[in-house]
Amino acid sequence: AQKITQTQPGMFVQEKEAVTLDCTYDTSDPSYGLFWYKQPSSGEMIFLIYQGSYDQQNATEGRYSLNFQKARKSANLVISASQLGDSAMYFCAMRTDKGAQKLVFGQGTRLTINP
Amino acid sequence: NAGVTQTPKFRILKIGQSMTLQCTQDMNHNYMYWYRQDPGMGLKLIYYSVGAGITDKGEVPNGYNVSRSTTEDFPLRLELAAPSQTSVYFCASSSRFSGTDTQYFGPGTRLTVL
């Protein structure tokens, strides 16, 4: 069964520090995609970054990077130089069905950036 | 370009009432999805559609129905509302032609059943 595990319910980080949010996944499908979404207090789901299972390099998008370790089945999100506006819930998700592109989500990590 | 829009933003229902949550996307995406998010939890898939006229159940379909008569619209119907359906409902869409299969979400509908 496909599953996403986020073991950090909450994290507190000082502004301008880097932060790593953990995500491990479980699937027997050789083809899958991993996503990170941000959910601020306003409630919307904002796409941050994507990593395909066959991608050779770790994905990067601005201050976001994805530390993809396939053998360990982990896909950690790294946010460099954190900002107050980064305070939000962060969800890791995995595409489980290439045909229908269905997603399975983890329970999320609440990140708080302190000034 | 509006993306994915959902109406209403908020709704309070009484037990046993019915309602339809509306979802529209203007990105010409083939795939559309309905998720629910319970407090402090991740999203769970209710129903999805890979094209007009084609729908299928997700992880938590009981108590809901969907239809997809056009590419743009994917309404979610709640019949006989129950307190367990109190949740935030998100509609999303994605393109079968996208290399990343990224889903884009609407702003959500917060539903309370009393």
pLDDT in tens, B51-110: 999 999 999 999 999 999 999 999 999 989 999 999 999 999 998 777 778 999 999 999
Quickly state the pLDDT bin for A99 (edges 50, 70, 90). confident
Is the pLDDT assigned to residue B33 strictly greater than 90?
A: yes
pLDDT on residue B1: 65
Of the candidates B40, B42, B58, which has its C-beta nearest A102's C-beta?
B58
Residues B27-52 have a mean pLDDT of: 94
What are residue B85's phi and psi, to 5 degrees? -90, 5
Answer yes or no: do A105 and B42 touch at CB < 8 A: yes
The full length of chain A comes to 115
Answer yes or no: do B43 and A50 touch at CB < 8 A: no
pLDDT on residue A85: 97
Contacts of B44 in chain A (CB under 8 A): 105
Detail the DSSP E strand segments found in chain B: 4-7, 10-13, 19-25, 31-37, 43-51, 54-57, 64-66, 76-78, 87-94, 104-105, 109-113
Is the pLDDT assigned to residue A101 strictly greater than 70?
A: yes
Give residue ranges of B with CB < 8 Å to any A CB. Answer: 31, 33, 40-45, 48, 50, 56, 58, 88, 90, 92, 94, 96, 100-105, 107-108, 110
Share of chain A above pLDDT 90, in %: 88
Q: A114 - beta bridge partners?
A: A14
pLDDT on residue B99: 72
Mutate to test the interface with B, among A21, A68, A103, A110 (most CBs of B within 10 A): A103
Mutate to test the interface with B, among A46, A51, A102, A110 (most CBs of B within 10 A): A102
Residue with more model confidence, B110 or A99 = B110
Bond from prior residue into B8 cis (ω within 30 degrees of 0): yes
Is the pLDDT assigned to residue A98 strictly greater than 80?
A: no
Residues A85-113 have a mean pLDDT of: 92
Q: Residue B46 and residue B33: Cα distance in Å, rounded?
A: 8
Give residue ranges of A with CB < 8 Å to any B CB. Answer: 4, 33, 35, 37, 43-45, 47, 50, 52, 91, 93, 95, 98-108
Contacts of B100 in chain A (CB under 8 A): 33, 50, 52
pLDDT on residue B40: 85
Q: B59 - beta bridge partners?
A: none
Q: What is the mean pLDDT of chain A?
A: 94
Half-sphere exposure (Cβ direction) of A9: Cα atoms closer than 13 Å = 2
Answer yes or no: do B88 and A43 touch at CB < 8 A: yes
Residue whose C-alpha is closest to residue B101's, from A24, A61, A90, A93: A93
Quickly state the pLDDT bin for A44 (edges 50, 70, 90). very high
Is the pLDDT assigned to residue A61 strictly greater than 80?
A: yes
pLDDT on residue B2: 76
Detail the DSSP E strand segments found in chain A: 3-5, 10-14, 19-21, 24-26, 33-39, 46-52, 60-61, 64-69, 74-79, 88-97, 102-105, 109-114
